[in-house]
Structure 1
Amino acid sequence: GHINLSILGAMQVAENGDLANWMIPGKMVKGMGGAMDLVAGVKKVVVVMEHTAKGKDGSESPKLLAACDLPLTGTHVVDMVITDLGVFTIDKKGEGGMTLVELADGVTEDEVRRKTTARFTTKLA
């Protein structure tokens, strides 16, 4: 309860605010690190990340998902996601869901929808 804002990266974010950022199964890891502490009890969590994960073969896979399939760092903790394509807010306490509130220069809403499996509404200024 002493931290007002935590800004961190993520491997995946779910539409309900779940966060996965510490482990990819099958990869060597030393431990969870301090990310769980950074999202527990903080007033606002902002995730900054690339919108998609790049595969070795050049393919892209969404990182904004309906539900995370990697081990969770925290449940219902993310308030905002900033990616290279746009900015999303997450209503993790009310009716839930993501809202696209800003697009990066040169990016269309259609491109964001193609690269996102999480459901979201749009409220662009």
Structure 2
Amino acid sequence: MALSREQIAMRVAQEFKDGSYINLGIGIPTLAANYVPDGITVMLQSENGLLGMGPYPTEEQIDADMINAGKETVTASTGASIFSSAESFAMIRGGHVDITVLGAFEVDQNGNIASWMIPGKLVKGMGGAMDLVAGAKNIIVTMTHADKHGNSKLLDQCTLPLTGVNCINRIITDLAMLEIRDNAFHLLERAPGVTVEEIKQKTAGKLVVDGDVPEMQF
């Protein structure tokens, strides 16, 4: 069975390391704030100027002035810092973000990502995506494996305008977790109940399967 948005976020959060500075992009990535594993401390950064973002608020915790880059209300964790977007981007561009989690329209086997524009459709702008893929040490993409028409979003070469080149390390989709290396997608884990054959059918780029592929654990 394909993973839900929340399950993708849960699996992403398992990749967080104690003491890391992590930027969560708009969409599925922001959900990961709710699933930081027990026993570790991370600082979640939002590009609009919040370092120390906490989980989504309860009804009693909502503060209309405390928002993330997607204009959703959030909470601030103990020790959080609020600053200007200029300082936030200085942090990103200065290489001080350990992990960036982004959504994407397409990724390819060379580690390229297209995440900001579909020609002919309304585009608000790239936002901080280009800065994030250039400045972070480790980039994880969350996305559905295929689009609503069943076309693979994991390609041999991206067809949409690129956000970054040769920068993606890992991808977590609703079907699998994959790592990009040696110009190929390497299958690391599969969603519970999803077969390797199904993942092969929905991966247009080069897919490498080494031995038995374990199911994700939650």
Same fold by TM-score greater than 0.5: yes
Q: Which residue of 2 aligns with 1:16?
A: 110
Counting only pairs closer than 5 Å after superposition, residues 1-125 of structure 1 correspond to structure 2 as 1-54=95-148, 59-91=149-181, 95-123=182-210, 124-125=213-214
Q: TM-score, normalised by structure 2?
A: 0.53
Q: For structure 1, which runs of at least 5 residues remain unmatched after alignment?
A: none
SS in 2 for 1:61: coil
> Cα RMSD over matched residues?
1.0
Helix, strand or coil: the match of 1:112? Answer: helix
Shift of 1:13: 0.4
Query: Is there any run of 5+ residues in structure 2 with no aligned partner, and where?
Result: 1-94
Higher Rg? 2
CA distance in 1, matches of 2:162, 2:144: 18
C-alpha offsets along residues 65-84 of structure 1, whole Å, 9 cap, x if unaligned? 00000000000010000001
* Higher strand proportion: 1
Instruction: With the length of structure 1 as denominator, give the TM-score of the two structures.
Output: 0.90
SS at match of 1:48: strand
Higher helix share: 2
Identity of aligned residues (%): 47
Q: Give me the whole-angstrom Cα distance separating, in 1, the residues matched to 2:135 and 2:184.
A: 20
Residue 32 of structure 1 deviates from its aligned partner by: 1.1
SS of equivalent residue, structure 2 residue 139: strand
Q: After TM superposition, give the deviation of residue 120 of structure 1 in Å.
A: 1.4
User: How far did residue 121 of structure 1 move?
Assistant: 0.5
Q: Aligned partners of 2:128, 2:135: CA distance in 1, in Å?
A: 13
Is 62-71 or 95-104 further displaced after alignment? 95-104
> What SS class does the counterpart of residue 187 from structure 2 fall into?
strand
Letter in 2 for 1:79: N
Cα distance in structure 2, aligned partners of 1:102 and 1:88: 7
**Shift in Å, 1:115:** 0.7
Q: Deviation above 6 Å: which 4+ runs of structure 1?
A: none
